[in-house]
Structure 1
Amino acid sequence: MPIRFFKIILKTNLKRLKLPNKFARKYGGGLPNQVFLKPPDGTRWKVCLTKKNGQVWFEKGWKEFTQNYSLDHGFLVLFKYEGTTSSSSSSSHFDVLIIDNTALEIDYPSNNGKNSDDDVSVQILKETKKEKLLPSSSHKNMRGEKNVSAASSLSLNWPKEPRAQEVAKKFVSHNPFFTVLIKPYHLTHHLVTIPSLEGYAGKEVKNVKLENGDRLWPVKMLCCNKSYSSRCLSAGWNSFARETELKPGDVCVFELVNMQDLVFKVHVFASQA
């Protein structure tokens, strides 16, 4: 029978997590030195264990897990452990569910239908002449050269919402860009779905930077599904959204200004509400 337990996340256990004493006493001896955490999005997170005086802690790898899913004070994590079925440590894993401080399970960065209205229809648009929305003469393309003309655009997605479409049509850059209408769950669930960036970034997890004003924010970029048809900005997105005071209804244009370091300049168009 699987063993289940939960832990309430506090500020003090975002870097390492102590497993319940009863669980540690009964099953800690059979745990390998590393296990895997498996959330519903299909990913596997390797976490190393520390055992001391009959106690067991998740340590190396736990911090990265909490950052990726933006765990915070008051979150609840449910664990299910089914034991080790072979000598291989890869068979030792904990299935996990994450409940946020609104008492709802989080929207994991996967295409599981929870945010189906946020799916990004990705298509590469041909370069066309468009009305200039922002002065682009000060923008630099990915070779570091200043743009000398605002006559063409390369958009990586076509948003569904009319206001986002309007911004995307008028925005001009010689760099690739995509457009996102900010919705409430982008701010409460600490992630946002974006295009796949096929041809500009590999399929593995990436560390990107979001630029706004004179600041840069490091953000984790994940693949949202096995087909790699979309990605998600996860850990770090919450800080960016909070510190730039994003609000529902704002439209963000993410302009790829440095492909080597994956730096996106984020242009924010305030909500008209």
Structure 2
Amino acid sequence: MPSSFSNILFDTSSSNLLLPPDFVSKHLNNKISDTPIIIQSANGGYYWKLKIKQISDDSYCFSDGWDNVVKDSQLDFGDFLLFSPVDELTFKLSIYSPNGCEKILPQKIGGNDGGGEDDENYEKNEDPWFTTIITTTHTSLLRFPRGFAELAGIDDEGTMTVKNLDGKEWVTGIKLDKSFRSSRRYLLSPGWPCFRRENDLSAGDECVFRFIRSEGKLLLAKVVLVR
């Protein structure tokens, strides 16, 4: 598991972010993964896919998507960035202004290289949907965005049928996610690992799930593979 690291932003126009030498020496020297790195905001519901690029023998940076992080997070000169590992390929990003206060980003549903639709537009969909990027934490469970769960009428533990575009179905279990004390959050756990394996979903894949109201089923509507 990578260690946490921080950075102070001095150039908001740059398309990459230099990684700290200590982090590089511990985790990156000659070990760049082909799988995209996932950066998720600590609040707001944003996700970004980036690459790690080698600049010199011992210098690496976030690239190929860092400019989206700067734009969507409205980063400013002097902002303090804290990257906390979620798994080997995923980091949670917390942003603090020079005055020490954490920046709160506008809430997004799902995530798609910088977020999904905002709440107002999201509620206009006849069938609610969300976008997520598969990470190694998704091997055993899939969390529902709060807005999606509300629109899909998920308010208790139970079962849900999940199907792919070929019409094949899997019965999965809905569990209450007790890691959020301030609100009720739900996830798919029993049955999800089988669905993920049989649909060949791997870390970095971008998936769109749509709840079909007329059937009461969750549809894997689209997959963008990184392989």
- Greater strand fraction, Structure 1 or Structure 2: 2
Higher relative contact order (CA 8 A, sep 6+): 2
